A and B are shown apart, each in its own frame.
Chain A
Amino acid sequence: MSGERALIDFITGQRWFGAKTREVIHARTVDTATLREEEPRLELRLIEVGFDTGTHETYQLLTDDRFDALADPRNVRELVHMIRGGRNLPAGDGVVEFGTVEGIAGLGQELRDARAIGTEQSNTSIVFDEELILKVFRRLEAGVNPELEMLRFLTERGFENIAQLAGWYAYAGRPMDATLGILQRFVAGGEDGWELALATVPTDPQQIVQRLRRLGEVTGAMHTLLGGDPTDPAFCPEEASTESLGLLTASVDDEIEAVFLDLPAGVSELEPIRGRGEEARERLRMLTQVGDLGRVIRHHGDFHLGQTLWADGDWTILDFEGEPARALPERRRKRSPLRDVAGLLRSCAYVQSAISLRGGRVPEGWERDAREAFLDGYRSTVDPRLVPSGSSFDRLLAVFELEKAVYELRYELNNRPDWVRIPVAGLARMLEQEWPS
């Protein structure tokens, strides 16, 4: 293994490295567990990446004679066996725990074929025999990863439209306790909702509209379930407090201010919104004149079409980690389920923009139809006590759409500069949208 510089270069070059705008000054191993003694020795390492201001982040690496041992299917198989074995493995300063969930663990016994799937923002995922998928979290934070909590909750209650949880592994030790990865059912033959939309909107726009209605139903049913257990403190629905609207306003407002403050100079794609931060903040103030807020519940947290699969005539919802740029306690926070609804509606806007930007043709009124279908489906299954009533529903939804667009803008600026024009178009449209005062 080469030195610290090489380690820094490796980590900072990965898509899952979240702090691309920060200056890294050190990278060191804070704990190691040996997964396989025989050569090439397979090790699980927690790496602390330090920044110039003195803060740090922690990442998970699996190494053999290279930095990324996950590239070799044999190594990944080893990890799955350990999850199934359910035994603890000592690390230098703690322990790696492995566990399974009853019923699903039998899947993928053979583990013949392993393949990595597309590079993800926060993790590395490997599929076995088109039956099981192992998701290795890269950036680690203290506490239970919301994906583990959410999948466990939904799996235990028999929710069909997810990839059920089969097992997990976690670290508990001196540096922190953290979820390291999860093993879940792989939805074979599924079509990614985002790709599906891009492909079918120009050719068969009504088909995807119908499927979005179904997605609305699934989402509403998921929220009803997530907000339906008063006995589990981590999930029980709560009435919105008197200041919760103020807290929402304050956080979205500060995010708007910060993102506009950070707009890089000389990026022509930003022109439609440059200098319009105050306008966006005024719009927020207008929209937050909401009376009823409904309830706050645990929710998906980063809901968009790229987190869905269409398979066997129905939707599967994936990726319950929450927005990767937010801290874990924030990702676990209960908020209005309309936050997820807004995420999906923004995703429809992404579809529209992405097709247009690539020179494709979106039928007139498609996005409006898609929104209405999704919302119709959603309202037909969601527990009405969870969401605001009347015009408060629309306003709160618009607040979350604004929040999401601001988040998208920051994300695209940091990660995918070519995509910046999509949230820019979204924000510009929101600013111009008429709104009954």
Chain B
Amino acid sequence: MTDSGHWFERNPNWFKTAVFYEIHLRGFYDGNDDGSGDFRGATDKLDYLQEIGVDCIWLLPFYPSPLRDGGYDISDFYGIHPDYGTIDDFHFFVDQAHQRGLRVIADLVMNHTSSDHPWFQASRTDPTGPYGDWYVWGDDDTRWGEARIIFLDTEPSNWTWDPIRGQYYWHRFFSHQPDLNYDNPDVQEQMLNVLRFWLDLGLDGFRLDAVPYLYERDGTNGENLPETHEFLRRVRAEVDARYADRVLLAEANQWPEDVVAYFGNGDECHMAFHFPVMPRMFMGIRREDALPMTEILARTPAIPESTQWGLFLRNHDELTLEMVTDEERDYMYEEYAKDPRMKLNLGIRRRLAPLLDNGRPEIELMHAILFSLPGSPVLYYGDEIGMGDNIYLGDRDGVRTPMQWTGDRNGGFSRADFAQLYLPPQMDPVYGYQSVNVEAQLRQPNSLLRWLRRLIALRKQHPVFGLGTYESLRPDNPRVLAHIRVYEDDVILCVHNLARSAQAVELDLSRWEGMSPEEMFGRTRFPRIGELPYLLTLGPRGFFWFQLRKDDPE
């Protein structure tokens, strides 16, 4: 029995009802006053995470790295970046999290390494040596031309010339991130070793970064290949055989019909992010139209019972617009990236609150939708207090600024000198730490943080949100998104008004005739459902969640 099992009731489906919380360790809390967040700091903030009610922490990469891509360029899979602490600090963090009922998963990049990794250095200097075949080398840069370039803004090609080896190497992301060669069994074996190493230390699972690109094959775009799925099945079998209640979460930025392949028959990943629904939520609220959301959900195939979608509004990357049409992308840029600085690659590098013009009703509505759709919500650190972004910082740093804990110096993030901080904290009058911080919001009963805490608590009382069936009610009023979730005897009706104006909607609830909706936040009983369509009125950007109750109150 591992440490993790010690503090949790055994539940192989725990992730289906969990609320995830994504932490950028560097930006969360500085425990040693060096200007950069670390494991010791994050350990100090576990009480906060326990108190807001999240279930699972997702850590961005914390491995040794030259940090040319926020740590996604790993130079040692078996260590901790010295900025973040030591293996002991990691172990203590995980143990302390477990004791508080929190699980921890971590990013793992299987597709590539940093070019600084000793494996790559050995591969480029000794082509016939033991690592000579660990990367994808070629004599010319024309092969696999069908594969798209993902980092359009910086990379002219997926091939880069290496003057030392005198060959080109293949990379789907930055040129300093050579792809590993998964046709080499040693590479596969090594990666399984990496997984075991961290699971043995108590980690509850992985977010598998960039998982569609593991293999390359002629005549294909190099994404979602059968060989990739075969390797994932091997990974899953290895995890299932040796560890209980762990989770593999796939990052596959693909259309739903392609992503479902990553669940396999319940024998690949436990979870996968639902990328396409996210931009459509932003589109829906701007266009005051439920259709983009209901359409993509209707297009989403059923998934195995033991698997779950991961849903999110924002994360540490740009708001990606790969999974929309060109026309939709233009619309999104037009509405959400008026300043060209806000764009990055095929996406928008902004945080949630500024995207929604800091509108409280909009932020609440988006969370209500996120929490009511089938899947497990993933929150991004700082969005729970409505932190802003800084589009004048490079790459994605603008959405990775220090967590704002208090109104004190450095936003309570660090006691180091301001100049020593890894990035400057937000200081503008609207989003700066003096107005937006955890301490103040905890104490204000009507703050966003306190509201979200109640929303999380409510969701946890009703497993239906994670386990239940989902049925769109397709109301005649296109501005209203309405659906029914059912699990065992719990029937939940969720109705969301996407419009800036008040709306009325008639819902066909005839199947639940005789039951009475009870609003879930204030426990107010609404009129009994009769034969006629059920009429509801909603305020601007308003929403209702009802539990349908059998009995009438006395």
Residues of A within 8 A of B (CB): 23, 25, 52-55, 58, 141-144, 172, 174-177, 233-234, 241-247, 249-251, 253-254, 257, 261-262, 281, 285, 288, 327-330, 332-333
Contact B462 A247 (CB under 8 A): no
B1-33 interface mask toward A, CB cutoff 8 Å, 1 = contact, 0 = none? 100011111100000000000000000000000
CA distance A5 to B409 in the complex (A): 61
Partner pick for B1 among A172, A175, A246, A262, CB 8 A cutoff: A172
30 cross-chain CB contacts under 8 A? A52-B489, A53-B488, A54-B488, A55-B463, A142-B6, A143-B99, A174-B10, A176-B9, A176-B10, A177-B5, A233-B92, A233-B96, A241-B45, A242-B406, A243-B439, A244-B47, A246-B439, A246-B443, A247-B47, A249-B442, A250-B443, A253-B450, A257-B445, A285-B443, A288-B443, A328-B101, A329-B100, A330-B50, A333-B47, A333-B50
**Any chain A CB within 8 A of the CB of B144?**
no
- Contact partners of A142 in chain B: CB under 8 A: 6-9
Q: Least Cβ distance of B382 to chain A in Å? A: 14
Q: Which residues of A are found within 8 Å of B487, using beta-carbon distances?
A: 53-54
Query: Do A329 and B1 contact each other (CB < 8 Å), given the known contacts A247-B442, A249-B443?
Result: no
The answer to whether B418 has its CB under 8 Å from any CB of chain A is no
Q: Which residues of chain B (463-482) have a CB below 8 Å from chain A?
A: 463-464, 467
Beyond contacts A53-B488, A55-B461, A142-B6: 8 other A-B pairs, Cβ-Cβ < 8 A, are A55-B463, A142-B8, A176-B9, A176-B10, A246-B442, A247-B442, A329-B50, A329-B99
- For A285, the closest partner residue in chain B by CB is B443
Query: Within the complex, what minimum Cβ distance (angstroms) separates B255 from chain A?
Result: 31
Cβ contact of B445, chosen from A141, A244, A253, cutoff 8 A: A253
* B260 at interface, CB cutoff 8 A: no
A124 to chain B, nearest CB (A): 22
Residues on B close to A: CB < 8 A? 1, 5-10, 44-45, 47-48, 50-51, 92, 96, 99-101, 405-406, 408, 412, 438-443, 445, 450, 453-454, 457, 461-464, 467, 487-490, 522-523
Say whether B6 contacts A177, CB under 8 Å: yes
Q: How far in angstroms is the closest Cβ of chain B from A274?
A: 16
Given contact pairs A53-B464, A176-B9, A327 touches B51 in the complex (Cβ within 8 A): no
A133: min CB distance to chain B, Å: 27
Q: A142-B9, A243-B439, A261-B523 are in contact. Are A251 and B51 (CB under 8 A)?
A: yes
CB–CB B6/A143 < 8 A = yes
* Contact in complex: B488, A52 (CB < 8 Å): yes
Interface of B is mostly: helix
From known contacts A143-B7, A250-B51, A261-B522, infer whether A53 and B462 are also in contact, taking CB-CB under 8 Å: yes
Tell which of A144, A174, A246 touches B438, judged by Cβ atoms closer than 8 Å: A246
Q: CB < 8 Å: which of B9, B44, B45, B463 contacts A53? A: B463
- Give every chain B residue within 8 A of A243 (Cβ-Cβ): 48, 405-406, 438-439, 442
Cα separation A249 to B439 with both chains bound (whole Å): 10
A330 to B46, alpha carbons, bound, how many Å?
12
B470 to chain A, nearest CB (A): 15
A-B residue pairs, 10 tightest by C-beta: A246-B442, A329-B101, A52-B489, A54-B463, A176-B9, A142-B9, A53-B490, A143-B7, A54-B488, A250-B442
Taking a contact as CB atoms under 8 Å apart, the answer to whether A241 and B6 are in contact is no
CA distance A176 to B47 in the complex (A): 23
A177 to B3, alpha carbons, bound, how many Å?
11
Instruction: Specify the chain A residue showing the minimal Cβ separation from B487.
Output: A54
CB contact under 8 A between A58 and B9, given known A53-B461, A243-B438: yes
| Contacting residues, chain A, for B51 (C-beta < 8 A) | 247, 250-251
**A25 CB contact (under 8 Å) in B10, B92, B488, B522:** B488
CA distance A285 to B7 in the complex (A): 34
CB atoms of B9 and A247 under 8 A apart: no
Q: Provide the bound-state CA to CA distance between A92 and B464, in Å.
A: 30
Q: Please, how many angstroms separate the alpha-carbon atoms of A220 and B445 in the complex?
A: 34
Contacts of B467 in A (CB 8 A): 54
B490 touches A52 (CB 8 A): yes
User: Residues of B contacting A327 with CB < 8 Å?
Assistant: 101
Residues of B within 8 A of A330 (CB): 50
Please state if A54 and B523 are interface contacts (CB–CB under 8 Å).
no
A242 to B381, CA, bound (A): 18
Chain A residues with CB under 8 A of B463? 53-55
**Chain A residues with CB below 8 A from B5, complex form:** 176-177
Instruction: For A177, give its contact among B1, B406, B462, B523 (CB under 8 Å).
Output: B1
Does A242 lie within 8 Å of B8, measured CB to CB?
A: no
* C-alpha gap A266/B457 in the complex (Å): 28
Give A253's nearest chain B residue, CB to CB. B445
B274 to chain A, nearest CB (A): 23
A residues less than 8 Å from B99 (CB atoms): 143, 234, 329, 332
| A250 and B9 contact, CB distance less than 8 A | no
Name A53's closest neighbour in chain B (CB-CB). B490
Question: Which has the most chain B C-beta neighbours within 10 Å: A142, A250, A257, A329?
Answer: A250
Residue in chain B with minimal CB distance to A144: B6
Known contacts A53-B461, A254-B453; is A25 also within 8 Å of B8 by CB?
Answer: no
Closest to A282 in B: B445
- Distance in Å: Cβ of B101 to nearest Cβ of chain A: 4
Task: Kindly list chain A residues whose C-beta atoms are within 8 Å of the C-beta of B523.
Answer: 261-262
